[in-house]
Structure 1
Amino acid sequence: MDNWTYTADLSPFFATTSANSSEQTLLVFYGLDTIANITFADIPVAWVNNQFRQYVFDLTPHIPAASASDATFYPGGNGVFEVPAARYYIRKQQIDFGWDWGPAFVPSGIHKSAYLITISNESDSSISNLPSTPPYSPSGSTNTTDVVFIEELGVDIYKLGSNFTVPPIQSADWVVNVSLALRAGISVDASTLQLALPELNLTSETFTLPVLDGRANETVWAIVQWQIPDAIPQRWYPHNLGTPQLYNLTASLTFPSSTSSESHQLSFTTRTGFRTIRLVQLPVPQSNVDQRGITPGDQYHFEVNGEEFWSKGSNLSAVMGGQNIIRVWGGGIYQPFLCTHFWLACMHFTIYVMKLGILAWSEFLFSDALSPINPFLLESVEPEIRENIEGIVIQTNQSLPNGTIYLDQFVTMFQDFLHDLETSESRSVPYTDCSTTNGFLSIDPYILRFDNATPGDIYGNSERFDYTAGDAFDYSTYPVARFVNEFGFHSMPSIYAWEQALLSPLDFAFNSTVVVSREHHDPAGGLAFPNPNAPEGQGEMTLAAILWLPVPPILGANSSVTSGSSLDNATFAAWCYTTQVFQALTIASEIAFYRRGAGLPNNNLGGIVWQLNDIWQAPSWSSVEYDGRWKVLAYAEERAYRPVLIHPFWVPEQENLEVSVMSDILGENVQGTAQMTWYDWSGNVVLAIPPVNFTVPSLNFTAGIEEVWMLVNITAELPGGDTISNEGYVSSLSKGGVAPWTWIEHPQGTIGVFVDAATGVITNGFYLIPGIPKSIKFILNPTVSTVQSPDPENFVVRSLFNNTLLNSAGDGDAI
């Protein structure tokens, strides 16, 4: 690979400054990927090697030597890195080296904003109101009257007396801990900070800050604690458990002037909320074992404001999908702290998800590998962790300890080093050693459990990735766990996604060379093209569809031969849809099983699906495609994650069908009526079971009661008077008048969601019954749609029985 050089013209900067100026100049990088040499006016400034850090360099000594004609802003290179590579030796986004759902591009360069900042050495009486959440930078590289640059901001809100090892007392006062990293251009002995919550008419006492010595090449930390009575602020809750209440927190800094009686004032406002969040991994109380029949071992669940709840989410998330937790996976990147024009939300990631009422599960970036432990690495990782810890809800790691040979490395990094860093930076953020873990033997001192377990007891959490088609609905293959943090199955993206990536009509086939080249399951393990291991992933999707569903024809001997005809294109589109239906079926089955576990001895209180979003057009585990289009899975997840769920559990070995109603409503019973109706495939009612009244406790379930299928549905009254409905299906597929998994597709260039026209409930991928009309409305998202007024003629409706029509068309080898 070649080195890359990035150069900036500094003429505008030097037009506003003087070599004799007493002002100080900082060079600020918010993201360099990854190894780079930095020079300024041909003068070496630094060598850097960590993508996840921000860097601030003092250029003041170099200004006199520079001029507009010879100033070079950033020349540098990434060295020679090839894939495969020892990715764990470099602090770079691990997905860049390839994964089983993404490309291996290994980019390098400036991937976030960079600034030249000048800091004045004279204060005046002007008030500087900074418009957004720190770190703050001016809109461009220019001189300002500001005497201070705020390099970092941390807001940590917790209960008085609580920390990682001491649970919060819910009635205790709140502590608002504000940390500021300041670089000052003036010397000030008596600068002050005052905090305010305007919506609550609260103002803090005036805090005196540490002495500022006027040297911008040094960071001065100012840390204050403001104590607020418990009853004053309204608490923040996830959107499905309460109100995600946020408040404006305003900070006003005052810097006395040495040349006048007036002071320089600087203020900013950020959004924050008051809540406690715990990851409970303590032993199951004996009372729960005796009275509730909970399996002994350790707990694993979250509590918000002292209340346990059912966690439902995915890797990155959406409120419309009913989810309340978002997992930021440890192979990607820390989510953005800086508001810049290219971030869609244009705000701190944490504030954005808090506004939506979603909890953030964030991971230190050590995915599926153990890094070599040495002082060079730890010296780089320590500031990375400290800079990125602010604002997250749970901090974990994702790694793969495999055998005792790596045990010392794992203990050093994840039990000791990262734990100590995280708990020293925050009192409100829980920590655990790994995304999948057996928990700890001791919380203080922090000692991990590993395999020190009592047989039959349950510890930690679990995950499931089973690609054997016959296991898809076999409950004995599902983990009986306290929490399932990762589970999924892969599917094709839609024909609309492929139209964005494929160039030739001949490429629109399930196993065409270009399609197979984007199948990275299993990964190639090298740079071979197309991926020699792709048949494994393609085969898993194909065999699952053939075993469980009516399938379209297979074109040619291996479905890689296509004429480019409209029928062949339709067949490819049908295969993409069919793999999505199977993905939705198996993941909805798992979600229901894990939700039902809340009322069983394993007391399962969470399920997080792998994964939400695609990063390109390719087969993957996602529920949302690259351009934002929902797959069938997204609609199935929305149904499965509703507060009250009805689901039929069929155990063929026992010839037993049990219909269960599950609720994750906090604190109160839910009452309602369940209706179970058997139909034949012509849409005729075979048996209508009389309505069943049910009462389901909080975080629990109630068991309800050849060519046929059953529709199950409920209507329930929620605490507060709201009404909710849910439906599910159990069937063995044949052909007839009922359209199973009816799927409506919006045209290319449109992004949005389908809802029931009468109720507004998200609806797609349903059973359409003759004589029972459904009216569906498409809600367009105009912000991300390139087509603002789609033609109704361009919408497509299909069901699984369309596959049988393709088979009867006589073109291709019918199955």
Structure 2
Amino acid sequence: MARNEQVLNSGWTLSCLGGPGATPGLPGTIRATVPGTVHTDLLAARLIPDPYLDLNEIAVDWVGKCDWRFEKTFNWTDDGSENVDLVFGGLDTFATVVLNGVTLGETANMNRTYRFAVRDHLRAGENHLAVTFESAWTRGEALDKIYEPRPNNYPGPANLMRKMACNFGWDWGPTLVTTGLWKGVTLQSWSTARLGAIRPEITLKGADGHVGIDAEIEGETSDLMLRVSVAGETVTLPAGFAELTIPSPQLWWPTGLGNQPLYDLAIELLAGDTVLDTWQRKIGFRSLRLDTTPDDEGTPFTFVINDVPVYICGANWIPDDCFLPRVTPERYAARIAEAKDANINMLRVWGGGIYETDAFYEECDRQGMLVWQDFLFACAAYPEEGDLPAEIEAEARDNIVRLMPHPSLVLWNGNNENIWGWFDWGWQEALDGRTWGLGYYLDLLPRLVAELDPTRPYWAGSPYSGSMDIHPNDPAHGCTHLWDVWNEIGYEHYADSVPRFCSEFGWQAPPTWATLIQSVHDNPLTPTSPGVWHHQKATIGNDKLLRGLKGHLPEPQNMDDWHFATQLNQARAITFGIEHMRSHRGRNMGAIVWQLNDCWPVNSWAAIDGYGRLKPLWYALRAVYHPHLLTIQPRGEGFSVIAVNERTLFWRGPVTIKRLRFDGTVLAEWTHWRLCADRLSAAELPIPADVATPSDKSNELLVATMHDSTAFYYFTEDIDLALPEPKFSLTVERADESWKVTVAAESFLKDICLFVDRLHPDAEIDDMLVTLLPGQGHVFMVRSLIELDAKTLSSVPVFRCANQLR
């Protein structure tokens, strides 16, 4: 008899069992949604205000401090199966599961799947299922008494339990401690045997693909067979292990380097002619290694895919919503497409969040988006005693096996910043010899990866130099985080070093205007008004925003200028850092900006804000991560123009460098008739001194052009530039379902932005941060539900450029 499945996601109710601050007068039960969370159920019942708005986060704090019960009744008909399992995809977090009055078990990990054998506890007809959740805060207090204090950069007991760490607040996220059945529930019936953990090892041997299947079988295993099919090849072998060779499959490539062909891998468990169970995934064939072979400059950190060293243009990924079930497959697809459109080729799934749902990795497979996956440890010391190690091992086994079929997954990483914390953040004295997680990062996790997923590399941490004998954040070794820039010093200091690979660096800015006024209703609205202030979670974040402007842009005098200047500065800072790193391609082989996305509306380092709107940083990333990057960089006593080519064909042509006044007057010009950047490389060309040396730094710039690529270089910062009053004409005309907005520059215009979301929250524009010389023009395409007019579009605060900041 084949396995049958009954989905149990409907018909749930929710009740509050009380706790500190519980709101009086709650109804006895309300409708619950599965997958879901208590917060979203209460929102749907209009029993709490939206925690994303104003100061409502504080008003709903009681939700996470209460215990809650989910209940449902369901009908069951005995189909004669020998076994019936109750399977929970995800329980958040401390749950007691009771079926028909029988306690099936208790859980303590939101990152695992739980399976309970229930055949003996089911009744023909109606059955009652209850899942009671203890508050993570309450359990945290108990765990705090068991484990001696361990350093933690953020409040809350996340390092004492296996729950999403950023639930307890982060420097970009609210404290919204969720609970609930955050993944689906099924009742699975089976006889004789079923497929357990399936581990496909997918490799290349020469031109051929190789698939090795290690299949765990639960139940009676004698005389069972596996039938494995992929790409037109099928083998039937005794259950346990199977191998196939696929002649010359098409290779799976990261976005920008090739296509992403996927093949259906199907596995059937057979007892004679009877199919007992099935398993199916889409797989891709590609080779992979992480090159960390020491060289004369230290320890490289280079992803080599299909024998091609790939430069990583990346972004860090955090949970896309505080309430995880709201992130649908469609939302994943849209967000990953936005990353791809910004020329990003890798998302790092950060260790303070979750192992994402299958839909995330499936979409990355389809779109060629590489995935760096952290194990879930972040910015804290984790005990290695008690029940925690067993939970961590079970969680790691579960997720390694679940994610290993995906060709997009290219790295398992042990933790985020914990090794760095032990070295530099005063942990050693605070710990006084107590454990802090090193055994997980250097022993348990690499052993599990080697056992379960030996085709993928493992790295112990981010940052990490490859050895505890070398400082973990040494830019000459492994992967580096650059956080003194932003936290302490100006962004010009990105140029102080050339990291082999930078896996975190970032600059903060507010969300788009439409998102800001949708989530905050202060009157007046200022950078320090209560709602705006509450949506700034970084320690002295507003002070850092203003400090970061110093030396670059004037301090803003009103809210409109503050919003524009800080967003512009974010885009400028990240552009500066990435151009510097990419100009050293070869020594540096990757930049992963912090961060792509947000989980709610907030001042943060994100390029896409919490309501899914694109900040100017997104447009800056699209430009600076372009496969053909032309940049002017200081080199020695002078300047060079550098062509960085991430295409698989060489990039060559004449390059022209001009030194101009802002009025367009050409002061010096030089053309080199053939600058050639070979495929996947960078070419450097020194600029003659007479061209590169300004007469008046405040009124001159360098402009380099090569084919369709343009690079600008300014000899001083905006506060010292004699930028002219902006003069331009602007016209608007209808173009099918969009609007064609043409800006014609009559004066030099630096970093033009049209903030069309100020006109309508759903309006979108195709470009930002456009610089025009006098006489040049640019066409912007705008999608808008309302009619646009030239007067409004050409007026502050919709039309902005750096010339207006004085």
Q: TM-score, normalised by structure 1?
A: 0.74
Kindly state the Cα deviation for residue 328 of structure 1 after the two structures are TM-superposed. 0.4
Equivalent residue of 1:72, what SS?
A: strand
Kindly state the Cα deviation for residue 177 of structure 1 after the two structures are TM-superposed. 2.5
Q: Deviations over 1:438-489 (max 9, x none)?
A: 114xxxxxxx544599xx9932221212126863224553x32211111111
Structure 2 unpaired stretches of 5+: 1-19, 21-64, 142-153, 318-335, 688-696, 726-746
Q: Deviations over 1:138-187 (max 9, x none)?
A: xxxxxxxxx86655544321246xxxxxxxxxx27532123445556xx5
CA pair 691-745 structure 1, distance change in 2 beyond 3 A? farther
Q: How does 1:110-259 map to 2 (within 5 A)?
A: 110-119=181-190, 121=191, 150=195, 152-159=197-204, 171=206, 173-181=208-216, 189-198=222-231, 202-209=232-239, 222-229=240-247, 232-256=248-272
Equivalent residue of 2:446, what SS?
A: helix
Contact map agreement 1:494 1:573 (CA 8 A) in 2: no
Q: Distance in 1 between matches of 2:93 and 2:515?
A: 31
CA pair 695-419 structure 1, distance change in 2 beyond 3 A? same
Q: How does 1:351-366 map to 2 (within 5 A)?
A: 351-366=362-377
Which AA in structure 1 matches 2:460? D
Residue in structure 1 matched with residue 161 of structure 2 by the alignment: 90
CA pair 26-752 structure 1, distance change in 2 beyond 3 A? farther
Which AA in structure 2 matches 1:742? I
Residue in structure 2 matched with residue 545 of structure 1 by the alignment: 549
Q: Distance in 1 between matches of 2:304 and 2:785?
A: 45
Q: Distance in 2 between matches of 1:385 and 1:319?
A: 29
Q: Deviations over 1:178-231 (max 9, x none)?
A: 3445556xx574333222234xxx31321221xxxxxxxxxxxx44222334xx
Alignment equivalent of 2:787, drawn from 765, 785, 791: 791
Residue in structure 1 matched with residue 651 of structure 2 by the alignment: 670
Kindly state the Cα deviation for residue 93 of structure 1 after the two structures are TM-superposed. 0.6
Equivalent residue of 1:233, what SS?
A: coil
Contact map agreement 2:348 2:371 (CA 8 A) in 1: yes
Equivalent residue of 1:112, what SS?
A: coil
Residue in structure 2 matched with residue 419 of structure 1 by the alignment: 446
Contact map agreement 1:659 1:704 (CA 8 A) in 2: yes
CA pair 281-728 structure 1, distance change in 2 beyond 3 A? same
Which AA in structure 1 matches 2:557? P
Alignment equivalent of 1:745, drawn from 755, 758, 778: 755
1:370 equivalent to 2:381? Answer: yes
Q: Distance in 1 between matches of 2:106 and 2:277?
A: 33
Kindly state the Cα deviation for residue 92 of structure 1 after the two structures are TM-superposed. 0.7
Kindly state the Cα deviation for residue 280 of structure 1 after the two structures are TM-superposed. 1.3
Q: Deviations over 1:35-56 (max 9, x none)?
A: 1111112211111101110101
Q: Distance in 2 between matches of 1:550 and 1:3?
A: 48
Contact map agreement 1:364 1:396 (CA 8 A) in 2: yes
Kindly state the Cα deviation for residue 589 of structure 1 after the two structures are TM-superposed. 0.9
Q: Distance in 2 between matches of 1:504 and 1:471?
A: 31
Kindly state the Cα deviation for residue 656 of structure 1 after the two structures are TM-superposed. 3.6
Residue in structure 1 matched with residue 33 of structure 2 by the alignment: none
Kindly state the Cα deviation for residue 424 of structure 1 after the two structures are TM-superposed. 0.4
1:101 equivalent to 2:101? Answer: no
Alignment equivalent of 2:574, drawn from 587, 596, 599: 587
Kindly state the Cα deviation for residue 370 of structure 1 after the two structures are TM-superposed. 2.4
Residue in structure 2 matched with residue 128 of structure 1 by the alignment: none
Contact map agreement 1:40 1:71 (CA 8 A) in 2: yes
Which AA in structure 1 matches 2:447? D
CA pair 730-496 structure 1, distance change in 2 beyond 3 A? same
CA pair 540-451 structure 1, distance change in 2 beyond 3 A? closer
CA pair 248-264 structure 1, distance change in 2 beyond 3 A? closer
Which AA in structure 2 matches 1:155? P
Residue in structure 2 matched with residue 75 of structure 1 by the alignment: 132
Q: How does 1:308-323 map to 2 (within 5 A)?
A: 308-316=309-317, 318-323=339-344
Kindly state the Cα deviation for residue 433 of structure 1 after the two structures are TM-superposed. 0.5
CA pair 266-87 structure 1, distance change in 2 beyond 3 A? closer
CA pair 267-469 structure 1, distance change in 2 beyond 3 A? closer
1:439 equivalent to 2:466? Answer: yes
Q: Distance in 1 between matches of 2:433 and 2:362?
A: 37
Between 107-116 and 244-253, the greater mean CA deviation after superposition: 244-253
Kindly state the Cα deviation for residue 409 of structure 1 after the two structures are TM-superposed. 4.5
Equivalent residue of 2:570, what SS?
A: helix
Structure 1 unpaired stretches of 5+: 122-146, 161-170, 210-221, 257-261, 290-294, 338-346, 441-447, 523-535, 555-571, 717-723, 756-762, 781-787, 805-814
Q: Distance in 2 between matches of 1:802 and 1:471?
A: 21
Alignment equivalent of 1:639, drawn from 601, 617, 623: 623
Alignment equivalent of 1:388, drawn from 399, 419, 426: 399
Which AA in structure 1 matches 2:307? G
Q: Distance in 1 between matches of 2:301 and 2:128?
A: 56
1:520 equivalent to 2:537? Answer: yes
CA pair 799-692 structure 1, distance change in 2 beyond 3 A? farther
Q: How does 1:287-366 map to 2 (within 5 A)?
A: 289=296, 295=297, 297-316=298-317, 318-337=339-358, 347=359, 349-366=360-377
Q: TM-score, normalised by structure 2?
A: 0.75
Alignment equivalent of 1:715, drawn from 683, 706, 718: 706
Kindly state the Cα deviation for residue 633 of structure 1 after the two structures are TM-superposed. 1.1
CA pair 309-678 structure 1, distance change in 2 beyond 3 A? same
Residue in structure 2 matched with residue 164 of structure 1 by the alignment: none
Q: Distance in 1 between matches of 2:664 and 2:159?
A: 57
Contact map agreement 1:628 1:751 (CA 8 A) in 2: no
1:770 equivalent to 2:774? Answer: yes
Contact map agreement 1:469 1:547 (CA 8 A) in 2: no
Contact map agreement 2:228 2:242 (CA 8 A) in 1: no
Contact map agreement 2:233 2:246 (CA 8 A) in 1: no
Q: Distance in 1 between matches of 2:765 and 2:656?
A: 25
Contact map agreement 2:197 2:215 (CA 8 A) in 1: yes
1:495 equivalent to 2:513? Answer: yes
Contact map agreement 1:280 1:301 (CA 8 A) in 2: yes
Q: How does 1:248-287 map to 2 (within 5 A)?
A: 248-256=264-272, 263-264=274-275, 267=278, 269-284=280-295
Which AA in structure 1 matches 2:166? I
Residue in structure 2 matched with residue 168 of structure 1 by the alignment: none
Contact map agreement 2:507 2:574 (CA 8 A) in 1: yes
Q: Deviations over 1:414-438 (max 9, x none)?
A: 1111110111001211001101111
Kindly state the Cα deviation for residue 711 of structure 1 after the two structures are TM-superposed. 5.4
Q: Deviations over 1:48-76 (max 9, x none)?
A: 10111010101112114x873x7233233
Q: Distance in 1 between matches of 2:84 and 2:494?
A: 63
Residue in structure 1 matched with residue 478 of structure 2 by the alignment: 460
Q: Distance in 2 between matches of 1:489 and 1:270?
A: 39
Q: Deviations over 1:108-147 (max 9, x none)?
A: 221111122333x4xxxxxxxxxxxxxxxxxxxxxxxxx8
Q: How does 1:669-708 map to 2 (within 5 A)?
A: 669-690=650-671, 693-697=674-678, 698-705=680-687, 706-708=697-699
Paired-residue identity, %: 24
Which AA in structure 2 matches 1:770? P
Between 377-386 and 236-245, the greater mean CA deviation after superposition: 236-245
